[in-house]
Structure 1
Amino acid sequence: MDYAKLRKHLIALASLPKTDSPLVSAYFDLQQPLSAVRRDFLAWTELTRQTFAGSLRQDFDDAVEEIESWLGNATGKSAAIFSRWGEHPLLLPMTFDVPMKSRLHVDEYPVIYPLVELKDRFNRFVVVLVTSGSARIVEVNLGSHSVELLAERPALRERIGREWTREHYANHRKERDRKFVKEKIAVIEALMAKRGHNALIIAGDSRYVARLTSALPRSLQSKLIGELKTGISDQKMQAVISQAVESFLVKEREESFDAVNLLVQAVRAGGLATVGYEPTRRALLEGRASELIISAKLLHEEREELVRMASQQGIQIETVRDCELLDRNGGAGALLRYELQDSPDEVKIEAA
């Protein structure tokens, strides 16, 4: 599963029509033994089916059977699958290379907050792995990676004592290195612009990391979020990518808190924001919200409703964990497209 496909699936799930038939949202931690995952799922379904009767129970059983059948061949570190029978039937499985907790829900609408949080936390970014001989430009997409380009440094024939003086050789090597760095920067810029990346990490031998970093233009300097100075080899590449993901998650958490601070500033600057569940819901209903900022601790039903509305509109969602300021102020807020004409009491920030 890649980032673009997940985004499309989220919009589709958020836009599903409501029906009487139960919709099962199942999230599985596949790092556990599959037998244990299946056992827990069947135990939940056996208990839950007793809450339905008649045709609704049959629809629930059929939806569960679809999930159980798919689960037998599940791969990856985690999975999410949505299943419904009856009117507007649905079967949508997704697998991921990042962990998620097991969660089981049945309701009229799909439960999508875990996917929204996954999409926000494990955004796409670029890692450049540099050594004395090559530069690998890697896209990390929802925790997994693909090598977009492997550029080998052109070989330089040994000519000292024959055709070139030592000074000539040194000058040629310096020019070759400068050209190599310049070419790589052009590739990085093109890739990040094309794929819409806003974050860059450079990893590798310390002197080559420093050389590439110092040569970055201002446009890329602003997107550089980390440097990992470590040796690179094919055997170590996965470990380095894992380090890069951890560095990115730290930065993403900082950005989540930055979004809360921006919300506070917008309130103080004249009301181009709202806080609390009801005012935020109203802003989304009226199409005035430009970004939703939401706490993982918000009540399940309220959280699902807000992210469903925001996903339908395709607006940015910033998920926030362990932010006392946001939790103290209703667990949700929105930046607005234009000034809110509500009473001042609805946009107060409780700071202490």
Structure 2
Amino acid sequence: MTQQIIKIMNYLNMTKGALMVGIVMISSLSFAQKKVETDAALAFQNYEKAQMTGDMVEMKKQLIKAKESIDLASTNAETEKSPKTLFLKGEIYTSLLLVKMLGDAEFNKNVPENAKEISVKAYKEAYDISNKYDSDIQNSVNTIKQMLYTTGSAAFDAKKYKEAMMAFGTVNDYTAVLNQLDTTAIYYAGIAAENDSNYVQAAEYYKKAAESNYKPDLIYRSTAMAYIKAGQNDKAVEFLKQAIAKSPKDKHLYFALGTIAMEMNDDKTVLENLNKAVEIDPNYADAYYNLGSYFSSKGFDLRQKAGSLPPNAKKESDELLAKSLEFYGFAMEPLEKYVTISPKDVDVLNSLVKIARALKNTEKEAKYKQMLDAARK
């Protein structure tokens, strides 16, 4: 019996020993896994220090080292979903993306093509699964946003429109981490795309800004005009008609469609939509101005054409002059409404004097001549 007890005790001691060895091995493995995460943090800190001192060689060296460590931590079951690992991954891969812009071909071999997607995904996961790094991520996103604005503005000023579009377009990849939308960046990306003659992409950016009601007085027209420049007139008109169907009391939509119709030389659509805009807002000066200037310009062009015809083309000349008077008739009322809002606009007053004279309306000619003289003083 005693021998049996001794055997059992020996067995238990052996089992305990094996268990202790296993625990030590697991602890060592866990420590090693955490160490990789710590190594990434330390290397990134060293990268930031080198960045502050302007040591470009050390900066790039430490960033590559940080990437190697965070990649190991990201493929390890113990740390891959750690908020710290995810936050660091977002920081490191964003830095890789930014340093890549410096154009060092050798360094850039270390930067994967999808660095931006990797960084954004890591930030988002860290932000969603834990509150521990929320303020850090918020600060990082805001810093990245400002850097991208600076980069985009500098590129735009240097006429590097593709780079500007990319910088402004990237802003919302990062603000999306915080569930925010920066409509100004979207608009600027559209402007950069348009300046790069990438009208389809410009239209898409503008459309996104329009859907967020950004600068409604100009964004609808910008969207439609970008479609027109891309040779997609049908999309321009369809976009505005769908917007009007959703918001039938939005004066900006009618103004945009009427103004686009001016570009398309569609008199009927110009009249219908600009008149609708001023029906909604009787003090809509821009709509009065566009409606009046459009038809006065058409009338003036016809009179110029009639004046250039030879004497034996009297019939054709008379027809052109008659049509010009019809256009002047369309122009008179909206321009009169406009000068009641902006009575010092010399150009419009001068046009009204000419239109009244052509229409043989001496009373109005005298009235607007008097206003013109006063405005010039």
Higher relative contact order (CA 8 A, sep 6+): 1
* Superposition TM-score, scaled by structure 2 size: 0.22
- Name the one with the larger strand percent: 1
TM-score by length of 1: 0.24
User: Which structure features the higher share of helix residues?
Assistant: 2
